Amino acid sequence: MTRPRASHGALLVQRTRVRWRALAVVWSLACVASCHSAKPLAPERYTPNLPDAFVGSTTGADSASPVAWWREFEDERIDALVLEALSNNRSLRAASSRMDAAAAVARDAAGAGRPRLDASLDGARSRQNIIGVIPGNPLFTNYATSFGLTATVSWELDLWGRIAADRSAARNRFAATEWDLEGAAQSIAARAVKAWIAIVEATQQTEIAALAVRNRETWQSSIEQRFDSGGIAALDVELARTEAARARADLAVARGAESEARRALELLLGRYPEGTYAAARTLPRVPADVPGGLPAELLDRRPDLRAARERLMAAHQDTRSARASLYPRLSLTASGGTRSNELADLLDGDFRVWSLAGNVLAPIFDNGRLRARVDARESEFAAAEQEFTDLVLRACAEIERLLEAERLLATRESELALAEASATRAEQGALDRYGRGQTDIATLLLAQRTALATRSERVRVRRLRLESRIDLHLALGGTLAGARRATDVARPKVQPPTPLERPKSDAAWTDMPEPSDVKGSNQ
């Protein structure tokens, strides 16, 4: 018995199904290849040689959780000051905008390795002149109308990891701007507290200068009365007047410094610099002594080191992307839709059209440009590695210097307190002796200058101790709001899409790639 032959339409449907099955197989293989190439590009471990603990500390420190360091001053006005600085500072807002821009770039890079779907609707009307086709009519005019509705899916397969490397580099740069924002927030908070402390110190220096003016003018009046009675020489009067005039001049300088300090803080807070900011009249106490045995792993909290680490990782990914650019690129494109000379037929399946295409693009000769880009990226990574190592060592040097300064300034303030007490007693003794005529005015003026200068120096050293403690907190990467970041105090943290989120547990800052290993992994 003869088997009936399939109709032409049935054969067409069967062939179409076979083609679409083949397309599904190719697409599945492409998905597997793409997923394989998008595996994380984990660099090799790199770390400079560091001690377990800083030399300038002893034993007993714990790095479990950073604290809001400014709260150690136990002053609610400082708390409000930091919050206002983080909320209103324009430099911090600019850093936040740069982070948002980096997040957008990372989102753009995240979509590069995924299929792209486009839709198009087109219409065309044309006229064509045909000559010599119809006998007796040398010119024939034909009009044609065409409408099309098409959906196109295109995908570049990431066989060599180039797109994945670009995506990782964008994520690393976005993370770097996040840490830049965190570092800027900590810096702004530190500058605000330092400016507040500078106002308090300037206020105390003004009070010391005002006290000197009152003392000088009182003694000038007393000496002038004694001169009128013939008890002392005119030289004593002139010296007393000179000292009173110099004291008034010093008071003017102190008041100017106080106004300038107030304006500096107002600018930092985003206020109009009118020089009227009200601060405390006495400097806060120096917080408790720095615990000993500070571990070197505290460096991992520093935003600048974290940002540098992310940029180093980005340079590593740039190197891998450049190497992958040396190999061919494979792209797949599939389109389907309808086309007809009637607009109403675009939704009719009988007018469907489709196409499937693949493209392989391989670099053959480009005058060495791609190879030059690889060399440039490798050199940039090597430079970034050296800069990162230098930054780590300079951070260690900064911490060691501040730990030593902490001890030296404490000793200096203690000795100045003893010197101030002795100078005050010497001043009182000189006053008594001069009143009894047992010493000259030069000795009295020297004792007064020494007492005032010692008091002023002790106030200045207290400010230096407080500023040094703030610098030490920054050097150790202390956070500004308990377990939260400083940026969380001023604005909500930017939440990028899931593909851009960093792992919840950041790798240690020591996870760095070796240049030789990076080159070897791309051979």
pTM > 0.75: yes or no: no
Q: Which of 39-43, 74-78, 292-296 comes out lowest in average pLDDT?
A: 39-43
Q: Which of 53-62, 427-436, 445-454 comes out lowest in average pLDDT?
A: 53-62
Mean pLDDT, rounded, for 28-52: 42
Mean pLDDT, rounded, for 205-210: 92
What pLDDT does 31 receive? 42
Cα separation values, 221 from 216, 231, 429, Å:
9, 14, 20
Mean pLDDT, rounded, for 494-517: 35
Q: How far apart are CA 67 and CA 80, in angstroms?
A: 17
423 half-sphere exposure, CB direction, 13 A CA radius? 20
45 vs 223 pLDDT, higher one: 223
Per-residue pLDDT reduced to its tens digit, 314-343 = 999 999 999 998 999 888 888 888 887 777
Q: How far apart are CA 373 and CA 326, in angstroms?
A: 10
Q: Which amino acid is at 351?
A: F
The pLDDT of residue 370 is above 70: yes
Q: Which residues contact 135 (CB under 8 A, 6 or more apart)?
A: none
- What does the DSSP assignment read for 160-214? SSHHHHHHHHHHHHHHHHHHHHHHHHHHHHHHHHHHHHHHHHHHHHHHHHHHHHH
> Are 85 and 277 a contacting pair, CB within 8 Å?
no
70-113+160-285+299-327+371-500: CATH topology is Outer membrane efflux proteins (OEP) (1.20.1600)
Residue with tokens 């047992």: 438
Q: How does the average pLDDT of the chain come out, rounded?
A: 76
In 3D space, the residue among 282, 285, 284 whose CA is nearest the CA of residue 204 turns out to be 282
Could you tell me the residue ranges of all domains in the chain? 8-37, 70-113+160-285+299-327+371-500, 116-157+328-361
Helix (H, G, I), strand (E, B) or coil at 93: helix
> Are 487 and 181 a contacting pair, CB within 8 Å?
yes
Which sign does the torsion angle of CA 380, 385, 386, 390 carry?
positive
The pLDDT of residue 34 is above 50: no
Token pair listed for 204: 């105390």
Confidence of residue 134 (pLDDT cuts 50, 70, 90): low
Q: How far apart are CA 10 and CA 13, in angstroms?
A: 5
Token pair listed for 323: 């190497």
Token pair listed for 310: 């992310």
Q: Do domains 70-113+160-285+299-327+371-500 and 116-157+328-361 have the same CATH topology?
A: no
The pLDDT of residue 362 is above 60: yes
Per-residue pLDDT reduced to its tens digit, 487-502 = 444 433 333 333 333 3
Q: Report strand pairing: 329-340 vs 137-157.
A: antiparallel
Please give the share of the chain, as a percent, with pLDDT higher than 70.
75
What's the DSSP call for residue 292? B
Q: How far apart are CA 389 and CA 95, in angstroms?
A: 25
What pLDDT does 497 receive? 31
The kind and range of the H/E element at 484 are: none
> Are 153 and 115 a contacting pair, CB within 8 Å?
yes
Per-residue pLDDT reduced to its tens digit, 73-123 = 778 888 888 888 888 877 778 878 888 888 887 777 777 777 888 888 888
Q: How far apart are CA 282 and CA 259, in angstroms?
A: 17
286 vs 164 pLDDT, higher one: 164
CATH code for the domain defined by 116-157+328-361:
2.20.200.10
> Are 449 and 430 a contacting pair, CB within 8 Å?
no
What pLDDT does 153 receive? 87
HEC profile of 241-264: HHHHHHHHHHHHHHHHHHHHHHHH
Confidence of residue 254 (pLDDT cuts 50, 70, 90): very high
